Amino acid sequence: MSIEEKPDSLINYNDAISYWTSTPATVNGVLGGYGEETVVPTMDVLGSQHFLRKLKSRMVPASNDYKKYGADIGAGIGRVTKNMLSKQCDIVDLVEPVEPFCKQMEVELADLKTQGKIGEIYPIGMQDWTPEEGKYWLIWCQWCVGHLPDDKLIEFFKRCIKGLQPNGTIIVKENNTPSNEDDFDSTDSSVTRCDSKFKELFEKSGLKLIATDRQMGLPKELYPVRMYALKPQVPQ
């Protein structure tokens, strides 16, 4: 990478899709080898649930007319929806561009679909997804936003703002670099951003940070993981 090149300028969407399409459609696959034989899946869910519990009083639907619609962005095989979001939301829509993951999602979420907990499955990338205006109580983005360059991520967040119900919330759960620099990973063509970069992008997107927390209990060799709870700067 030359001095002039920003890490996010190296992102190649097709390279990312090729990488993930060649990855096994399993929990171990989508978590980069940190599957059910490790603490990662359990600690991840517990950390997310704890974060949402702390936000409960700030996420009350605007009225009883609103269902708790959720959106799972970069949903993989549906792990987050199956183990966490389906317990928090009335209905969850999922956005996932990798075809083998979408096929496995149908298997993983079959019981929830029978219960009416699964809404639409959008087999597209987040950069191509435009949410229905005013639909979502919660838009959950986990381990996926590193596949969008800064400018495209800002555009995505702006579309998400329009997709929120009154008092809706966007949560971003992502790796952070331990420095003030962003890192490009050529393996899956993604960028890991620093905490200050995330906060800068949220501000530029028209979002205000209402809470943030560090995910605890993950293996020390992994990047730090942080959760960000966001509301529109201008209420919807």
Q: Any idea what DSSP says for residue 102? A: H
Q: Is 127 annotated as a binding residue?
A: yes
Question: Where do runs of H (alpha helix) occur along the chain?
Answer: 13-21, 27-30, 40-54, 79-80, 86-88, 99-108, 110-114, 150-163, 195-205
- C-beta neighbour count of 111 within 10 angstroms: 11
Q: Is 74 annotated as a binding residue?
A: yes
The Cα 126–Cα 124 span in angstroms is 7
Q: Is 53 annotated as a binding residue?
A: no
Which residues 6+ apart lie within 8 Å of 55 measured at CB?
A: 169, 210, 211, 229
Q: Is 125 annotated as a binding residue?
A: no
Q: Is 168 annotated as a binding residue?
A: no
The Cα 225–Cα 146 span in angstroms is 13
Binding-site annotation: residue ranges for S-adenosyl-L-methionine:
74, 79, 126-127, 142
Binding-site annotation: residue ranges:
74, 79, 126-127, 142
